[in-house]
Amino acid sequence: MTEESFLVPSDTYFKAGVHIGTKFRTKYMAQFIYKTRTDGLSVLNVQQIDKRIRLVAKFLAQYSPEDIIIVSRRENGWRPVKMFGKHTGISVFAGRYQPGILTNPKLENFREAKVMLVTDPWPDRNAVKDGIRAGCVMIGLCDTNNEANNLDLILPCNNKGRQSLGLIFYLLANEYMKARGLKEIEAKPEDFSAD
């Protein structure tokens, strides 16, 4: 992949730290790891990240906003998912996900969805279980230490950093809107990660 074919310049990816993994690596994420540094941190392949952002956005674009749900228990993901929801019209749950939202019609905030995207399969495990029971296609942002056995599609990235999550959700929102034939969002990547 050449520099021109990235969604944003590679420096933007590197500054946001989307490629920085953890010292732990799972078999699910081995295919996305570029190398392991001398300090033990695994580094994700930026080309793979870029390709997967496009793939996830194209996949999501096949669904209307009311068929998708985004979940982030991780605090660093709250602002990025809220901004994503604001620009795309997709329902988001930032903070604690109440079990049964997709499976219990008696709940006040019950929703029907076909696709669920989680920012981290571990803290969002209740949402993942709910999504599986409801028959949703499961998409997860996964770092090098994530298990992905309950996911249908993995987007490899640093899913812990505020700037990384901001950039990922900015690009997903932009690509989702373009793939649906709508205009690009009127925001900058910083708007998704600023306090």
Whether this model's pTM surpasses 0.75: yes
Beta bridge partners of 154: 140
Superfamily of domain 3-180: Glucose-6-phosphate isomerase like protein; domain 1 (3.40.50.10490)
Q: Where are the domains of the chain?
A: 3-180
For 134-148, give the DSSP string: TTPEEEEEE-TT---
Instruction: Please report the pLDDT score of residue 195 as a whole number.
Output: 65
Q: Using pLDDT thresholds of 50, 70 and 90, give the confidence band for residue 194.
A: confident
Q: Residue 142 forms beta bridges with which residues?
A: 156
**Do 77 and 119 form a contact (C-beta atoms < 8 A)?**
yes
**For the residues 143-163, what does the mean pLDDT come to?**
95
pLDDT of residue 179: 95
pLDDT of 3 above 90: no
In terms of Cα–Cα distance, which of 109, 111, 105 is closest to 68?
Answer: 111
Instruction: Give tens-digit pLDDT for 14-42.
Output: 999 999 999 888 888 999 999 988 998 99
pLDDT value of position 177 = 96
Pairing of the two strands 42-44 and 68-72? unpaired
Give me the pLDDT at residue 4, please.
61
User: How confident is the prediction for the chain on average, in pLDDT?
Assistant: 93
Percent of the chain with pLDDT over 70: 97
Closest CA to 158 of 84, 99, 40, 76: 76
Give the per-residue pLDDT at 73. Answer: 96
Model pLDDT for residues 85-113, shown as the tens digit of each residue: 999 999 999 999 999 999 999 999 899 99
